[in-house]
A and B are shown apart, each in its own frame.
Chain A
Amino acid sequence: MTDPTSTATAPAPEAPPDRGTQRRTSEVAVPLGVMAAVVVALVLVYAVGQRATDLVTQSIVTGLLLGGVYALVSVGLTLIFGVLGIVNFAQGAMLTMAMFLVYEMTTSGGLPVYVATLLAVPIMFLFGVVVQAALLNKLTLAGSHEGPLLVTLGLSLLIINVLLMIFGGRPLRVPGSVDGSVEVFGAVASYERLIAFGGALLVAVALLLLLRRTSFGMSIRAVSANAEGASLVGVDVRRIYALTFGIGAACVAVAGGLMAPFLSLTPTVGEQFTILAFVIVVLGGLGSVTGALLGGLVIGLVQTVGALYFPGTGSLILVFAVFVLVLFFRPQGILGAPQ
């Protein structure tokens, strides 16, 4: 018998009879619809937006590149949120931590920045595994919502302030990356940002392959769908949780390394990314890597093109407006359920 209590809280129990087919169509329709809406909005900006054409083009290019960076931070978060159900408030702080790792390796160790990034990946992975195993597993398995939220909030404050104690609050720069830029349709795009964008795509593809083509990825998806069931068929849920958090942290390490060249580093530089990443994760759909990528690009565009009309931090209001609307009207995001 259908459990009346669970259906009472589940969204939209009165779906029409042919829900199966409807869902399959919406799986394609919604992302396509979103992309179409974005394109239409951009065309409108060009046509009747009363802004100079080259300015708009520059905003779009900047927005897409920025979106790539956002996506890079978000893919790790969507994995953690999707599989463990943890709202990781420390994601931004972990990003900062990765940047400072890269900074330290380039300045003290004399390594090129992208080599340092590669080295930062296993370190952050290990950090993530330890955090989940030591601090979060107990709470996650107990099904607590607030516990992990509070622990990651504490972790975020801890990381930021330890970095503050070690490096101080003055902005720092990572030296020696690839200078220069190219022109795309008359808009300027720096190499550093293009590399970051490419990195985002690479990480997303690697993650998708890992989740879809490996038995380890299969275990992660099994745990994500039903932890109890997975444990019954012999999956070590604690281990999967720890490794998943580790992968989430490794993604952030890549993001940190690729972003470090064009940001000035302060202990709080990553904080703004935490909430933006959540916006993107919710927008893209919980646990969906492609959704995070798409969501990142959309949010990047909303921010830069929006800035043509709402200068300064005003365009961020637009971002949050999108967030709240998505939460209310399509809480499952653009790309529905995980994978």
Chain B
Amino acid sequence: MTLLQVDQLTKSFSGLRAVSDVDVTVTDGEFLGIIGPNGAGKTTLFSLLAGQLPPTSGRVVFDGQDITGWPADKVAGAGLVRTFQLMRPFESMSVLENVAVAAHHRHRSRRAARRHALEVIERVRLAEYVHAPSGSLPTAGLKRLELARALALEPRLLLLDEVLAGLVPAERAPIIELLREIHADGVTVMFVEHIMAAVMALSERLLVMAEGQELALGDPQEVIRDPRVVEAYLGEDYA
């Protein structure tokens, strides 16, 4: 079953096309990796899907609903939730409160929201920091907090923007394991990442973007051998 359908999605900034005629279809339960050189439009694509930016043209259909141009809060409420590459904790709040804010979306009472939040916090293995001020977390902890907040909304589709960036290799493995668990629990994932080992380990399909456009889409092993992809990554001089 198709969960997300993107048709001819385009975003221009002052004439510059950051995202250009992208077509993607994501199936329910899928793990889709997205790679591309810097400036390829990956984060902008996420912003368009999640409602931080209105698209210039094109259409986004999520779960049978046309959500094109919806504001971010409404998109998130519908079950399409993103994380940010640069972590954005609510700094005046503790870890538990941060996650409870998201959990409140489904739980009106404070008690239920906090209970659900605690559950998610345990799930992302952040329990030792439950009452710590969110600003005091180390980078890896902040990454987990981003994940926890997104998960507390009980998303159907999770857009993860470079959750591994800024982590040392030893910190990556447990997060990759966690992503695997989340996916196994039935959450569909779109995953922008530069760490190729993680991309190859997790992705069921791989989308390669360059200069705002879709360069290749398909089986990860095949896609990375595609000459156009090699060229985009290495530059034309080496092609």
Contact = CB atoms under 8 A, between A and B. Distances in A.
> So, do A and B actually touch in the complex, CB under 8 Å?
yes
Interface of A: 1-2, 4-5, 7-8, 13-19
12 contacts: A1-B38, A2-B13, A4-B43, A4-B44, A4-B53, A7-B53, A13-B13, A14-B54, A14-B56, A17-B14, A17-B15, A19-B14
Nearest to A14: B56
A17 B12 contact: yes
Contact of A8 (B15, B18, B47): B47
Contacts, number: 38
A5 B84 CA distance: 10
Given A1-B18, A1-B44, A7 B13 contact: yes
A30 to B, nearest CB: 19
B52 A8 contact: yes
Interface of B: 12-16, 18, 38-44, 46-47, 52-54, 56, 84
Contacts of A13: 13, 53
B52 A4 contact: yes
A17 B56 CA distance: 12
Shortest beta-carbon contacts, A-B, top 3 = A17-B15, A4-B47, A19-B14
A8 B53 contact: yes
A2 B45 CA distance: 11
Given A4-B52, A8-B52, A15 B39 contact: no
A242 B232 CA distance: 49
Contacts of B53: 4, 7-8, 13
A15 B14 contact: yes
A19 B47 CA distance: 23
A97 to B, nearest CB: 38
Contacts of B56: 14
A59 to B, nearest CB: 44
A19 B18 CA distance: 16
A2 B15 CA distance: 13
A333 B42 CA distance: 35
Contacts of B39: 1
B159 to A, nearest CB: 12
A2 B12 contact: no
B223 to A, nearest CB: 21
Given A17-B12, A19-B14, A19-B15, A5 B44 contact: no
A13 B12 CA distance: 9
A115 to B, nearest CB: 54
Contact of B18 (A2, A5, A16): A2
A288 B132 CA distance: 46
A2 B44 contact: yes
Contacts of A18: 15
Nearest to B14: A19
A17 B15 CA distance: 4
Contacts of A15: 14
Contacts of A8: 47, 52-53
A15 B52 CA distance: 17
Nearest to A13: B13
**Residue of A4, A14, A16, A17 ringed by the most chain B CB atoms within 10 A:** A4
A5 B72 CA distance: 12
Given A2-B13, A5-B52, A7-B13, 6 more contacts: A1-B41, A4-B44, A4-B53, A13-B53, A14-B54, A15-B14
Given A7-B53, A14-B56, A1 B12 contact: no
A84 B230 CA distance: 48
Nearest to B40: A1
A1 B42 contact: yes
A17 B12 CA distance: 9
Contacts of B54: 14
A314 to B, nearest CB: 41
A13 B54 CA distance: 10
Contacts of A4: 43-44, 46-47, 52-53
B14 A1 contact: no
